[in-house]
Amino acid sequence: MYLIYLDESGNSGNNLTAPAQPIFVLCALIVAESQWQALEVELSAEIEKFWPFPRAEGFEIHASELFNPRSAPFRKALPSHRLAFISAWMSAAARHGVKLMFRAIVKHRYAKWLQQTFGAGVVINPHVAAFSLVAQVVNSHLRGLQGSPRGIFISDENYQVAGDIDKSIQLLRGEQGPLRLTQIIEKGFFVESHKSLVLQLCDLFAYVIRRHEEITAGGKAKPVDADVWKLVEPLIAQGDEKFNDAIGWLEAQKKKERPGA
């Protein structure tokens, strides 16, 4: 059994014109059930080392705070301290065989596709579109592992898309053809990020991947970007993304919701 954590970066909801966040990234972090508890123990130990008590109630690791700190204790920490913590968490992930899959969506291109496909005024949250693509890569990865293990999706609570994601999982599990989620069991599970260290780790990876995608698209890089990307890149697993099939499926599902449109 594998646990598949999902988190996004660059989320502006249905606003596809936010200039500060031109790219949306959905990241999947896959960890074997046999490694999950040990990974969580290491993540917790690194927090104790870098951010010891006393800590504020509800303390949580946010990637944005590590890179652009605005609140204590992150704001009081030197950049070298924050970078060392990032490295420690990512190294723990590598030791426990974590794999990453992701899909980046350039929002202005996505908005243009929506208008051309469905007409003006129709918006599908990019999280939903990215999920239909990431899910295929995850499924392909699991199917290719020894014994073809099953997996379960665990996502950060996002009330804007939770219903759509759950519906997509159920539909794709029953789909006949290349998009069928043969390795995914049950429904999607949504948890508050402060209750899951591995979900917070996924948030960190999603943030770094988004930064890399923005830089690749011409955005301004900072020295730290190259340092952290070296830690992330070896963990990324390529898979079988059936892009045209997934997009066609998404179109068909949306048109079913709008009969006669």
pLDDT single digits (tens) 166-178: 989 988 888 888 8
Mean pLDDT of 222-233: 95
pLDDT for 238: 82
Longest dimension (CA), the chain: 60
Give the DSSP H or E segment for 89: helix 79-95
Among 4-13, 49-58, 99-108, which is the least confidently predicted range?
Answer: 49-58
pLDDT at 242 > cutoff 80 = no
In 3D, which of 213, 132, 207 has the Cα closest to residue 175? 132
Confidence of residue 258 (pLDDT cuts 50, 70, 90): low
Mean pLDDT of 199-223: 96
Query: What is the overall mean pLDDT for the chain?
Result: 91
pLDDT for 57: 82
CA gap 163, 161 in Å, rounded:
6
pLDDT at 260 > cutoff 70 = no
Confidence of residue 54 (pLDDT cuts 50, 70, 90): confident
CA angle 96, 206, 82 (to 5 degrees): 75
- Count of CB atoms within 10 A of residue 54's CB? 7
CA gap 41, 141 in Å, rounded:
26
More confident residue, 46 or 242: 46
pLDDT for 17: 87
pTM equals 0.94
Domain of 159, CATH number, reads 3.30.420
Whole-number percent of the chain with pLDDT over 90: 66
Full residue range of the structural domain in which residue 243 is found: 2-257
Mean pLDDT of 8-28: 91
**Total structural domains in the chain?**
1
